Amino acid sequence: MTPVLPGSTDTAGQRATLGVVGGGQLGRMFVHAAQRLGYFTAVLEPDAQSPAGLVSHHHIRTSYDDPAGLAQLAQLCQAITTEFENVPAQALHLLAQTRAVAPSAAVVGIAQNRIEEKAHFAACADVSGVNCAPYTVIETPAQLQAVQEERTDLLPGILKTARMGYDGKGQVRVKTATELGAAWEELGGVACVLEKMLPLKAECSVLVARGWDGQIVSFAPQRNVHVEGILAVTHAYEGNMPPALADRARDAAISIAHHLGYVGVLCVEFFVVEDGTEHGGLVVNEMAPRPHNSGHYTLNACDASQFDLQVHAMAGLPLPQPRQHSPAIMLNLLGEVWFDADGLPREPDWCSVLRLPGTHLHLYGKLQARAGRKMGHLTITGPDVASVTSVARRAAGLLGLPGLDAI
């Protein structure tokens, strides 16, 4: 990979341009990070009002697999990334014929399929030191029957679709073999994995960035709280989880990235389980081949954000080891914030929130709020954990956010 230098131009006088497939908020924050370094940007996204498309130099309004749109993106850009894992992997493969693409189509394909993802985690468990929860694959009625009769050790469990599951979607909790059969039918009889439910204490995630040359840097693990399957709160500060467990999670995420030959920013999510289990207190849950909601605090609490590292990695620039300079708590802002208890539209009390010290509001430019839609986030930073926690609780109360007791 020949580095794509900031502010450079090609022989035709075209400014160095970085591209992203997908126009959501992660693409928007990537575009801002790239532009801050002097790059031009191009977004491939069909939505005319997409958050990333509205702030980019170029907005190619085609579907993600449109040959003409992909050809235009390749013509404009020297390096290309994606902001979500459900972009067609074949589109990334096509782009990689002529341009640097990070992450690769092969890695994105693994992350798109829970069956392949879990097989990868199991394959590198000896190196990473962390395995996934016990699971089995259900793709046919015969496999379902075999599980119902022979693998009751996986119950109670969670049945998850192999594809297109995120933010708690495509998942059903089951306690008995009968419930398992009904759940598989409810999910449409598609390929699934049945994962054993473990005694969960907490959830955490680790963000790593790996370059074309194998150089890798990482952020400290962040502890996450989910409400109805959607991230609500991220705790990012020293002591947010036991140091030995945090070190294991960080080392495991780095091993997983190396095992994949990954290039770009990767988020690996873990479950923290009750001590005394065979899993040693930590199991790997899933990975996201992109920046992650739980890493948004890095925009305000670190000297290099996850989006800065995404730009560096794909462009072939050196990867600085990020340094967190402030304790932080991130609060996710879903569409419910824009409605009162009776379901009537309201404008959130931003003035009261922004009077609080250390508050950093990020709204994503989405024009319509609806339940469950990620509209923005609020990061609170401060000199110590106690002050950050106090302000975060006050802000959550003013906005009527769920998970207040978890802050």
Q: Tell me, what's the pLDDT at 1?
A: 83
Q: Tell me, what's the pLDDT at 274?
A: 82
- Which residues in 31-65 are b (16+ Cβ under 10 Å) and which e? bbbbbebebbbbbbbeeeebbbbbbbebbbebebe
Q: Tell me, what's the pLDDT at 47?
A: 97
CB 81 within 8 A of CB 314: yes
Q: Tell me, what's the pLDDT at 279?
A: 63
N-terminal to C-terminal alpha carbon distance within the chain:
43
Structure tokens at 214: 């194998």
CATH classification (class only), 200-401: alpha beta
The verdict on pTM exceeding 0.85 is: yes
Q: Which of 11-25, 164-178, 313-327 has the highest mean pLDDT?
A: 313-327
Binding residues for ATP: 114, 160, 165-171, 195-198, 203, 226, 285-286
Question: In degrees rounded to 5, what are phi and psi of residue 192?
Answer: -140, 165
Residue 311 confidence class, pLDDT cut points 50, 70, 90: very high
Q: Where are the alpha helices (DSSP H) in 268-383?
A: 298-301, 306-315, 350-354
Is the confidence at residue 68, as pLDDT, over 70?
Answer: yes
- Which of 158, 165, 80 lies closest to 117 in space, CA to CA? 165
103 preceded by a cis bond (ω within 30 of 0): yes
Residue 329 confidence class, pLDDT cut points 50, 70, 90: very high
Mean pLDDT (whole number) for 386-404: 93
Q: Tell me, what's the pLDDT at 276?
A: 59
Decide: helix, strand or coil at residue 92: helix
Residue 86 confidence class, pLDDT cut points 50, 70, 90: confident
Strand ranges of the sheet holding 135-138, from the earlier edge strand across to the other edge: 135-138, 192-196, 157-161, 171-174
Cβ contacts of residue 75 below 8 Å, gap of 6+?
none
Domains 17-101 and 134-196 share a fold: no
Is the confidence at residue 58, as pLDDT, over 70?
Answer: yes
Q: Tell me, what's the pLDDT at 243?
A: 94
CB 365 within 8 A of CB 54: yes
Q: Tell me, what's the pLDDT at 167?
A: 62
Q: Tell me, what's the pLDDT at 127?
A: 86
Is the confidence at residue 164, as pLDDT, over 90?
Answer: no
Cβ contacts of residue 19 below 8 Å, gap of 6+?
41, 42, 43, 44, 73, 76, 77, 79, 80, 81, 99
Mean pLDDT (whole number) for 202-217: 97
- Of the candidate CATH numbers 3.30.1490.20, 3.30.70.260, 3.30.420.40, 3.20.20.20, the domain formed by 134-196 belongs to 3.30.1490.20
Q: Tell me, what's the pLDDT at 90?
A: 94
| CATH number of the 17-101 domain | 3.40.50.20
Q: How far apart are CA 290 and CA 293, in angstroms?
A: 10
- Which of 140, 181, 141, 139 lies closest to 157 in space, CA to CA? 181
- Which of 378, 381, 351, 350 lies closest to 362 in space, CA to CA? 378
For residue range 268-295, what is the model confidence (pLDDT) as tens digits?
999 999 865 666 789 999 999 999 999 9
Count other C-beta atoms under 10 Å from residue 127's C-beta.
13
Q: Tell me, what's the pLDDT at 351?
A: 97
- What amino acid occupies position 368? Q
Angle between helix axes 141-150 and 177-186 (nearest 10 degrees) is 160
**Exposed / middle / buried, residue 202 (Cβ in 10 Å: 0-12, 13-18, 19+):** middle
Q: Tell me, what's the pLDDT at 169?
A: 75
Per-domain residue ranges for the chain?
A: 17-101, 134-196, 200-401
Decide: helix, strand or coil at residue 180: helix
The residue ranking higher by pLDDT, 12 or 189, is: 189
Q: What is the CA radius of gyration of the chain?
A: 21
Is the confidence at residue 44, as pLDDT, over 80?
Answer: yes
Mean pLDDT (whole number) for 54-60: 98
- What amino acid occupies position 99? R
Q: Where are the alpha helices (DSSP H) in 207-270?
A: 243-260
CB 335 within 8 A of CB 317: no
Binding residues: 114, 160, 165-171, 195-198, 203, 226, 285-286
Q: Tell me, what's the pLDDT at 173?
A: 94
